[in-house]
Amino acid sequence: MTDPFALFDEWYAQARDTEINDSNAMALATADARGRPAVRMVLLKGHGPDGFVFYTNFEGRKAGELLENPHAALLFHWKSLRRQIRVEGAVGPVDDPTADAYFATRSRDSQLGAWASDQSRPLPDRQTFMDRFDTVSARFAEGPVPRPPHWSGFRLTPERIEFWQDREHRLHERRLFERAGVGAQGDWREGLLYP
């Protein structure tokens, strides 16, 4: 198989069947404008040949770093399968209709939490956050909860995708796909790597 997205779909489907919690969890590595790295776990909410999508508060640290330095790396690790996938590429915001459509699928409490949260900013205590949650709950008591203007998504358009499979005696197998062309439609070249 030389299509990295078909291979990703195959591995991801197996992970959804075997991982107990959050098979869509991935580590997101960013760097600020000075090149200082940071990493955190986020959830994959869409994927395909055009990229890998996740959502966040655009006033938080991760969004600030992605807007300053629009390149990132993702890591999926499925321990039960003894597999991981590394993805590297350019990052940009999703369009408003895409963000609106995803936001509408979130639970009402998650929607309200997006309004109540000042992500990455300190609060004096948890009660302050819960009071804010109660305030927005009352504000949107009637009807649907709209997407906050500070909340949207990013799409990482991959330039490199590496599939890692654990093997006995640390003789692991790695398959590296690199984009040969420019943009989301570029061709992919594959190399088989070993430890």
The per-residue pLDDT for 195 is 60
Mean pLDDT of the residues in the chain: 90
| Six-digit token string for 61 | 């640290």
Specify the residue for token string 């654990």: 166
The per-residue pLDDT for 169 is 59
Specify the residue for token string 């969890």: 25
Say which of 61, 170, 174, 189 is annotated catalytic.
170
Task: State pLDDT tens for residues 24-48.
Answer: 999 999 999 999 999 999 999 999 9
pTM above 0.85, yes or no: yes
Instruction: Kindly state the average pLDDT of the residues 116-132.
Output: 80
Asked if 158 contacts 180 with a C-beta cutoff of 8 angstroms, the reply is no
Task: State pLDDT tens for residues 182-192.
Answer: 655 568 888 77
Catalytic (active site) residue 83:
no
Q: How far is 97 from 114, CA to CA, in rounded Å?
A: 17
Task: State pLDDT tens for residues 50-84.
Answer: 999 999 999 999 999 999 999 999 999 999 899 99
The per-residue pLDDT for 171 is 64
Q: Which three-class secondary structure state does DSSP give residue 73?
A: strand
